[in-house]
């Protein structure tokens, strides 16, 4: 029976593992074996209760990078993996991010040819297109009220 989990549970990220801890609060009123009231401090302990599907991890990953259908046309995503990925597979990104990837690949080609200046140019272009994609998704609604006496 987990309760107040936002206050009593903590995690620590270490390598490829997630360490979970529960807060065990100390008691200021429970007397010890000799009847003394000594304040016990709070401590972190390992989880002492089982919760089905109790841990939820929300994360980013490279999710289905290649699909069969054009993501600009079709909403279904049939993932293409391993050796099935060929030149006819679609990149699972919208148009703007696909253009950003073009700049990324151009930058990598320039880097391989030892042309660092051109590589820097294309990497700047890559981040610019990623930023443009973000700004395209912003929808700002501005409402201006008209004063009553501004009629001419």
Would you tell me which residues interact with another protein (CB under 8 A)? 1-6, 9-14, 16-21, 44-63, 65-66, 85-91, 93, 95, 97-102, 104-106, 108-109, 126, 130, 134
Q: Which is nearer to another protein, 137 or 148 (CB)?
A: 137
**Whose Cβ is closer to another protein: residue 53's or residue 150's?**
53
Q: Phi, psi at residue 143, to the nearest 5°? A: -115, 120
Decide whether 88 or 150 has the Cβ nearer to another protein.
88
CB of 84 to another protein, least distance (A): 11
Nearest one of 2, 43, 41, 47 to 21, comparing CA atoms? 47
Structure tokens at 126: 């890559």
Least Å from the CB of residue 13 to another protein: 7
8 Å CB contact between 100 and 133? yes
The set of residues, in sequence order, having a beta carbon less than 8 Å from that of 66 and lying 6+ positions away, is 79, 80, 81, 85, 89, 90, 91, 92
- Nearest distance in Å: CB 35, another protein: 27
Cβ distance to another protein smaller for residue 16 or 146: 16
Residues paired with residue 43 on neighbouring β-strands, in sequence order: 24
E strand or H helix at 21: strand 17-24
CB of 114 to another protein, least distance (A): 16
With beta carbons less than 8 A apart as the criterion, state whether 12 and 21 touch: yes
- Closest contact distance (angstroms) between CB of 149 and another protein is 47
Choose between 25 and 37: whose C-beta lies nearer to another protein.
Answer: 25
């Amino acid at each position: 029976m987990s309760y107040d989990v936002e206050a009593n549970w903590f995690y620590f990220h270490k390598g490829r593992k997630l360490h979970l801890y529960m807060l065990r609060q100390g008691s200021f009123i429970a007397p010890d074996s000799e009847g003394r009231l000594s304040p016990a401090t709070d401590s972190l302990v390992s989880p002492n209760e089982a919760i089905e599907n109790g841990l939820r991890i929300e994360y980013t990953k490279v999710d289905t990078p290649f699909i069969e259908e054009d993501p600009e046309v079709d909403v279904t995503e049939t993932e293409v993996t391993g050796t099935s990925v060929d030149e006819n597979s679609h990149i699972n990104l919208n148009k703007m991010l696909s253009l950003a990837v073009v700049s990324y690949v151009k930058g990598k080609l320039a880097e391989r040819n030892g042309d660092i200046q051109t590589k820097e140019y294309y990497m700047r272009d890559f981040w610019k297109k990623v930023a443009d994609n973000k700004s395209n998704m912003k929808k700002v609604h501005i409402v201006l009220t008209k004063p009553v006496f501004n009629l001419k």
